[in-house]
Chain A
Amino acid sequence: MLAQLFGFKGGVKPQTNKAPSVQLPIGQAPLPSCLFVPLHQNIGGAPNPLVVVGEHVLKGQLIGGADGWVSAAVHAPTSGTVLAIEEHVAAHPSGLPTLSVVIEPDGRDQWIPRTALDHRSLAPERVREILRDAGVVGLGGAAFPSHAKLTPARAVPMQDLVINGAECEPFMTCDDLLMRERAEEIVRGIAIFRDLLGAKRVLIGIEDNKPEAISAMNKAVLRLAEDYAVVAVPTRYPAGGAKQLIRVLTGKEVPASKRSTELGVQCFNVATVYTAYRALAHGEPVISRIVTLTGNIEQPRNWEVRLGTPMRELIALGRPKADTDRYLMGGPMMGFEIPDLAAPVVKATNCLIAGSPALFPASPPEMPCIRCGACAEVCPHELQPFELYWFSRARNFGKTQEYHIFDCIECGCCSYVCPSHIPLVQYFRFAKSEIWSREREKQAADAAKARFELRNAREEREQAEKAERLAKAAAARGSERKPAPASAAVLPPTVEPVQPVAAAESAEAVSPSDPDTVRKATIVAAMERARAQREAVKPRNTEQLTVEQKNEIAAIEARRAALKPEPAAAQGGRADSATSQERPGE
């Protein structure tokens, strides 16, 4: 057990509202009529589709391959037919579409062959690969690929592995129920992460308003004879933030410029640990997650939902009350309003809350900031939200960065306590995305400038080379003619200056007195060379193509084959046209 807990600055204690959704055990959500699985559900590279329209897929089959190291694969949540690979509305505050695989379930729910593995018998690199290809990402809401967090820093020995079961957001109970019902699997999963990181100590942090989860985890730890410490942390929002929990449990404060591994700490959510265990010990990729469905509905409950299930179908299970006017994804503090209920449940969807005017009363009008400093008192990152607010509002983005806007975790504590009801977090989000977009524009401008300068340099070089070539040709011609007039060297000839030089190289066999024959022979030889080169070159940009692109290429090749005239007939005509063909760019 831990001798001492540390505190973090700030924080608030909103009403938790967790009781309604813990009355019932986790329910299995029924198979929806259609699944819309977005390919890009993680932070990092967007996976490429690996299936084609009309293909039959099995439950757990890879449908999107991880793109690069910081990326995670996507799998079919059930067996069925791929109806389309198209843009579908994303689970995102913008309501913009994203490339999704539409799967019509066949009802058989037939698994791919699964192989159980023991992580102890595998190389750590292999385990990380398996996790990536099983689509294991942070299920606390950030959806950062977990395998990328599992490399210990070289210089610092890994001290503590923090397992995050704090779940500080109001309304949310998905991690609570998971710990109550599947504690043993979580504890087994922790061993994978501990062994990969080589952590000396494992700390499981759970807020003290979840006694059932704490006792379930304690029992599981005892049963499996592990030495993990299950620690009850004081209930205070945002104790479940990774940096806050690390500070509470270990006393270490992770600076903005460093990763937590550099301090010898790493933090994972309990649901992430659970999916990692399922991926290795059962060979089951991440195809579902626990979602809390609560708020203004008849039956609040946690559901195990297949990823890609349209939110509308999930919400119907809870029977929303008549006065429901909006739905939030995520908690009331950090979540966002869903613009379109056709959006699917994704790996980041931990909670859906039905809102009504009674549950979330419209906030009173925004009033001027009185610089009371209440926001600075509750900020868990010890920022000065009121200063950030002034600068964001005035679009003075340089100043916001001086006041460390990128340390803000958008927890919403400042907006929660603001007596003037200023939506502070919205201003910070606006400022952040504006800074990012300017950064992108700046990079694009720099790239354009570099390309422009390179192009100018190239043009200059080409011109110089051309002049040199012309001068050389003139000199060669002059020496051929013997009585070289002095003016010929100064004024280079303009008519077909290159060919005499080229002809001289390959004209040994043919009589040099006949320039026409020489030229034709040269052309034929050059065409032969070009053809050989064309056939020898294998295009290198054909890896990692999407299915659509592959189909398109096949169709084009078929058309081309049909169009191609007989080579013998084309031979003569082509040679003629090549003679008269002008060289582009000169």
Chain B
Amino acid sequence: MITALAIMALGAVVLGAALGYASIRFKVEGDPLVEKIEAILPQTQCGQCGYPGCKPYAAAISAGEADINLCPPGGMDGVRKLADLLGREVKALEAEEKPKQVAIIDEATCIGCTLCIQACPVDAIVGAAKQMHTIIEPLCTGCELCIKPCPVECIHMLPITENLDNWKWKYPVIEIKRAA
């Protein structure tokens, strides 16, 4: 009886020590879930979810503070992926889904106030004080953060049109007419 107790107690102590050591030795820095969530988010850094960037939103989702349907640039596709990852229900997007866009500065109207440069989260606008500004299109994430600060309303969004570089083969559609 005592031997059995001793063995069990010894086992508990050894295993406890092993677990304790492992928890220190293999400590994970940061929250791995946040990183996984962030990888799904589109990185537009637009703040449309109400958080200042994609990482804070990912942290909020991970902490259970935010819903998964607050990211309009990610679209329904993003919501579905988040639901998949987190085991939550798929929900309709809070805002309406928009096609991908880029911002365009009307260079004739631009007065060179630099306000949009300061607003751009990804440094996609070049220009200097009292000089015309312009947007580096391939870097623009379409976050629309530059539109509000512009005092002369010279920035507008243009949907990205299909061209030979981004053209995709379409999903094959079965023609019902022919089958009938």
Contact = CB atoms under 8 A, between A and B. Distances in A.
Interface of A: 40, 90, 92-94, 96, 98, 362, 365-366, 423, 426-427, 429-430, 432-434, 436-437, 440-441, 444-449, 451-452, 454-455, 581, 584-585
B164 A448 contact: no
Nearest to B113: A584
Given A92-B167, A444-B138, 5 more contacts: A365-B179, A426-B169, A427-B172, A455-B122, A585-B117
B168 A448 contact: no
B175 to A, nearest CB: 8
A92 B164 contact: yes
Nearest to B166: A437
A448 B122 contact: yes
Contacts of A92: 164, 167
A436 B38 CA distance: 21
Interface stretch (B15-23, B40-48, B60-68, B148-156): B40-48
A40 to B, nearest CB: 8
Given A96-B162, A365-B178, A448 B141 contact: yes
B121 A455 contact: yes
Closest 3 CB pairs of A and B: A365-B179, A584-B129, A445-B43
B97 to A, nearest CB: 15
B51 to A, nearest CB: 13
Contacts, number: 77
Question: Per DSSP, are chain A's interface residues mostly helix, strand or loop, or mixed?
Answer: helix
Contacts of B171: 430
B55 to A, nearest CB: 8
A90 B167 CA distance: 13
A94 B162 contact: yes
B84 interface: no
Given A452-B45, A584-B129, A423 B123 contact: no
Contacts of A441: 42
A366 B114 contact: no
Contacts of A432: 169
A136 B171 CA distance: 34
A444 to B, nearest CB: 8
Contacts of B124: 451
A569 B174 CA distance: 74
A447 B136 CA distance: 13
23 contacts: A92-B167, A94-B162, A362-B178, A365-B178, A426-B172, A430-B169, A430-B172, A437-B166, A437-B168, A441-B42, A447-B139, A448-B43, A448-B45, A448-B139, A449-B45, A449-B54, A451-B124, A452-B45, A452-B53, A455-B122, A455-B123, A581-B129, A584-B114
A429 B167 CA distance: 12
B141 to A, nearest CB: 5
B139 A429 contact: no
A90 B43 CA distance: 33
B170 interface: yes
Given A94-B164, A584-B128, A452 B169 contact: no
A579 B6 CA distance: 86
Contacts of A455: 121-123
A98 B164 CA distance: 7
Nearest to B52: A456
Given A92-B164, A430-B171, A440-B166, A452 B121 contact: yes
B3 interface: no
Contacts of A436: 168
Contact of B174 (A90, A365, A434): A365
Contacts of B117: 585
A43 to B, nearest CB: 12
Interface in B1-56: 38, 41-45, 53-54
